[in-house]
Amino acid sequence: MTALAIEATGLVKSYGDTRAVDGVDLAVPRGSVYGVLGPNGAGKTTTIRMLATLIRPDAGSARVLGHDIVSEADAVRAAVSLTGQLASVDEDLTGRENLVLLGRLLGLRWAPAKARAAELLDAFGLTEAATKLVKHYSGGMRRRLDIAASIVVTPELMFLDEPTTGLDPRSRNQVWDIIRALVAEGTTILLCTQYLEEADQLAEGIAVIDRGKVIAEGTPGQLKASVGSNTLHVRLLDPDQRPQAEQVLAHDLGTVTLEADPSALSAACSNADSGAEVVARLAGSGVAIAAFSLGQPSLDEVFLALTGHPAEQAPGEHDPINEGNPA
Amino acid sequence: MSTQPAAHVAATAADEAAVRRAISSTPRPPKAGPVSAALTFAWRGMLKVRHVPEQLLDVTITPVMFVLMFTYIFGGAVSGSTGEYRDYLVPGILVMSVLFTTVYSGVALNTDLTKGVVDRFRSLPIWRPAPLLGSMLGDTVRYVVAGIVIILVGVILGFRPDGGAGGAVAALALVVVSAFGLSWVFTTIGLLLRSPSAVLNAGFMGIFPLTFLSNVFVEPTTLPGPLEAFVNVNPISILADASRGLMAGNAQASDIAVVLAVAVVLTAVFAPLTTRLYRKS
């Protein structure tokens, strides 16, 4: 049993003249969430499709859970599951039928497949919608069903491709809760996302990918540190203490912004440590803090810092999956 | 208003515990066998017939209208009496109806491909041809339904073939076997074209003229020479002849042999082609 869940070296995949993936190396440890962060068209989906054995790499190699993705594709398929960018469920079937279908395909008999479907529908809050056709589901419901479908038989490794893109904040939080629960039970997750916040919330390690290449790697903290400036947000229990808090912050950090919320204020700080020290001093000075956070630089800021160009989708670099029938 | 968020928080918390239970409760079952996987895909196809019955209606209503219109409008002119023409037409329309249905095998496959669901199927540890073979089996049920509808309409209009029920069943079986062979052509097209409607158009552009240039509607002896020659070698004509023969109880073994051979050849050529395209898509 190797320590790494995914070990990829020099993966390349071209579509026509476009090198969608141009030499990607990945080392993903077992039992954690590993984030692959990048804008649309960076090559995230193509990388996932190679690792999930859907397409063969043009060059390079990868081992998933110790199995080669080309020569031992069956062994890989038996241990992973994929939740694609397009919801990978059948719209013309009901939610229950989708789960029973996958249970059967994964080797369950009819009765256990039905029982498993009922259990998952219940756990994912879809019991009421069980007999509705999936095409009538909301985006959040569809996403939850999609993830439920991926764990009909609990996989050792799960590929999640932009699981919260297009979801409202509440649905997004539900999906995050599910991901945390999966990891707590020992599943390794490769999470592709466009959102730094999502990677930061969930992932222990992150690879930033741009134009088919990994351009930075590290923990969320290292990544943000390399970007530089954070914003410290503080909310007070008592709005009357704001002037006092403003003094402390202004002394340590300089310019303080008073927010529209009468109990909130914020200030730019160079790193997390200085932010933490200020919060400690604030608490020590008798100000009652309701909440504080170090604001995240946006993906755009990360990209600007790492690549010198904004995270825009260059023409001709779409992920092929977005272009309808790839055949 | 204020109770709403609180209720939601409680629900989410319960969810998370349930989710964790659900995750930890599954030992991995042994892999699904090839037959079981294919049958599961056939079951999926039949569920779709139930949820999207319009598709089946489309391909059955047109032939039913053809039977009615041709029998009562042209029957007298073509055969001298509507009854005589009906007896000639019904076994032919059975062929047309079921062959038209095969186009939808390609449409359904293309529809699957344009959605994400095929990605999931292809990432499962199942026998590779199972999704294709299973859908084809499910489609066979569709062919049988389309065929039975036409035979029933014929019977309602007074069609009483000499071969009896046995002959009708044999004719239906032969037509369904042919349809199975032909459907591989349309699944290949379904994997080559970009949208379901393109598959539908291309499919009917092929099957429609080919059906009219057969003996489904009129005896080829009435046609100009070169056309008659083409109609006589058109496999659809031979299938229609075999269908008439089986229903009338006087089928020619050579017709049946040719029909089966065509089905085998189509399957041998286009099934591997479909499988390969499906793998690469």
What CATH code is carried by the domain that includes residue A288?
A: 3.30.70.100
Q: Are residues A272 and A185 in the same domain?
A: no
CB contacts, 8 Å: B114 with chain A:
324-325
Residue of A53, A125, A133 with shortest CB distance to B123: A53
Per-position DSSP letters for B203-245, written without gaps between them: HHHHHHHHHHTTTTTS-GGGS-HHHHHHHHH-HHHHHHHHHHH
| Same-domain check for residues A62 and A27 | yes
Based on the fold, state whether residues A16 and A69 are members of the same structural domain.
yes
Per-residue pLDDT in tens (0 to 9) along chain A, 327 residues: 557 889 888 889 988 888 888 888 989 998 889 999 888 888 888 999 899 888 889 998 899 988 998 899 888 988 888 887 766 889 889 999 999 999 999 999 999 999 999 999 988 889 999 999 999 998 888 888 998 998 898 888 999 988 888 888 888 888 888 888 888 888 899 999 888 888 888 998 999 988 888 888 888 877 777 665 677 888 899 889 999 988 888 888 877 778 778 888 888 777 778 888 888 888 888 888 888 887 766 556 666 667 666 555 443 334 444 333 333
C-alpha distance from B46 to closest chain A C-alpha (Å): 10
Is A205 a member of any domain? yes
Would you state the pLDDT for residue A257? 75
A170 and A221, same domain (yes or no): yes
A216/A26 Cα distance (integer angstroms): 11
Per-residue pLDDT, B26: 66
A92 at interface of B, judged by CB pairs closer than 8 A: yes
Query: Model confidence over A77-115: pLDDT tens digits?
Result: 888 888 877 668 898 899 999 999 999 999 999 999 999
Cβ of B48 within 8 Å of Cβ of A77? The answer is no
pLDDT at B173 over 90: yes
Q: Name every chain A residue with its beta carbon within 8 A of the beta carbon of B195.
A: 324-325
Are B24 and A185 in contact (CB < 8 Å)?
yes
For chain B, the average pLDDT equals 85
Q: Tell me which of A169, A200, A225 is where a domain ends.
A: A225
Q: How many domains is chain A partitioned into structurally?
A: 2
Q: Are residues A75 and A12 in the same domain?
A: yes
DSSP A133: B
Q: Could you report the per-residue pLDDT of A301-317, keeping only the tens digit for each?
A: 666 667 666 555 443 33
- In this complex, the residue of B8, B120, B191 whose CB is nearest that of residue A88 is B120
Are the C-beta atoms of residues A62 and A11 closer than 8 Å to each other? yes
In angstroms, the CA B115 to CA A89 distance is 8
Domain boundary at A180, A202, A225, which? A225
Contact A88 B126 (CB under 8 A): no
pLDDT in tens, A129-156: 999 999 999 888 888 899 899 889 888 8
- Among A181, A204, A225, the domain boundary falls at A225
Of B19, B20, B195, the CB nearest to A124: B19
What pLDDT score was predicted for residue B4?
A: 44
Task: Give the C-alpha separation, A153 to A105, whole Å.
Answer: 10
At residue A296, what is the residue type? Q
Instruction: Quickly tell me which residue has 């994929």 as its tokens.
Output: A82
Counting the structural domains of chain B, the total is: 1
Q: Do residues A162 and A263 share a domain? A: no
| Burial (CB count <10 Å: 0-12, 13-18, 19+), residue B127 | middle
Please state whether the predicted TM-score (pTM) of the whole model is above 0.80: no
- Secondary structure (3-state) at A113: helix
Q: Are residues A8 and A74 in the same domain?
A: yes
Confidence of residue B39 (pLDDT cuts 50, 70, 90): very high
Which of B36, B43, B110 is facing A325, going by the closest CB pair?
B110
| Residue A69 located in a structural domain | yes
Question: A245 and A217, same structural domain?
Answer: no
Residue A247 lies in a domain: yes
Tell which residue, A139, A136, A158, has the closest CA to residue A149: A158
Task: Please give the order of strands across the beta sheet that includes A18-29.
Answer: A18-29, A4-15, A59-64, A67-68
Residue A208's domain spans which residues?
4-79+155-225
Whether A145 is in a domain gets the answer no
Q: What is the DSSP string of A39-101?
A: -TTSSHHHHHHHHTTSS--SEEEEEETTEETTTTHHHHHTTEEEE-SS--S-TTSBHHHHHHH
A interface test, pick of B19, B28, B43, B194 with most A CB neighbours within 10 Å: B19
Q: Domain range holding B241?
A: 34-280
Angle ∠(B179,B185,B191) on CA atoms, nearest 5: 130
Rounded CA-CA distance A221/A205 in Å is 9
Interface contact A291, partner B, CB < 8 A: no
Residue that has been written with the tokens 């160009």 in this structure: A309
Q: Which of A187, A309, A183, A290 is nearest to A245 (CA)?
A: A290
Within-domain flag for B55: yes
Model pLDDT, residue A114: 94
Residue B90, token pair as written in the block: 């019904």
Which of A115, A189, A181 is closest to A152 using CA atoms?
A115
Q: Judge whether A322 lies within some domain.
A: no
Q: Do A324 and B195 touch (CB under 8 A)?
A: yes
In a domain, B115, yes or no: yes
Res A111: pLDDT: 93
Q: Is residue B182 part of a domain?
A: yes
pLDDT of residue A299: 58
* Tokens 């699981």 belong to residue: A163
Distance from the Cα of B274 to chain A's closest Cα (Å) equals: 12
ipTM computed for the complex: 0.80
Q: Kindly give the residue spans of alpha helices, DSSP state H, lying in A106-166.
A: 110-123, 139-150
**A306 class by beta-carbon count within 10 Å (0-12 exposed, 13-18 middle, 19+ buried):** middle
CATH code of A71's domain: 3.40.50.300
CA distance B105 to A18: 33
Q: Is the pLDDT of residue B9 over 60?
A: no
Q: Mutate which of A15, A91, A105, A119 to test chain B, going by most B C-beta atoms within 10 A?
A: A105
Nearest-CB residue to A125 (from B15, B43, B115): B15
User: Around A307, how many Cα atoms within 13 Å sit in the side-chain half-sphere?
Assistant: 20
Which pLDDT score, from 0 to 100, does residue A317 have? 39
In a domain, A301, yes or no: no
- Identify which of A106, A147, A93, A89 has the alpha carbon closest to the alpha carbon of residue A123: A147
**A86/B contact by beta carbon, under 8 A:** yes
A174 plus A272 within the same structural domain: no
Q: Nearest CA to CA, how far is B200 from chain A (Å)?
A: 15
Give the burial class of A147: count Cβ atoms within 10 A of its Cβ; 0-12 exposed, 13-18 middle, 19 or more buried. buried
- Report the distance separating Cα B140 and Cα A264, nearest Å: 67
Say whether both A171 and A261 belong to one domain.
no
Model confidence band, residue B163 (pLDDT cutoffs 50, 70, 90): confident
Q: Give the C-alpha separation, A204 to B205, whole Å.
A: 56
Domain identity same for A57 and A159 = yes
B114 in any annotated domain:
yes
Beta carbons of B123 and A105 less than 8 Å apart: no
* Same domain for A215 and A269: no
Q: How confident is the model at residue B169 (pLDDT cuts 50, 70, 90)?
A: very high
A·B CB contacts under 8 A: 147
Q: Is A181 on the interface with B (CB under 8 A)?
A: yes
Burial of A7: CB neighbours in 10 Å, binned 0-12, 13-18, 19+: middle
Query: Of A49, A54, A182, which is closest to B23 when you measure between CB atoms?
Result: A182
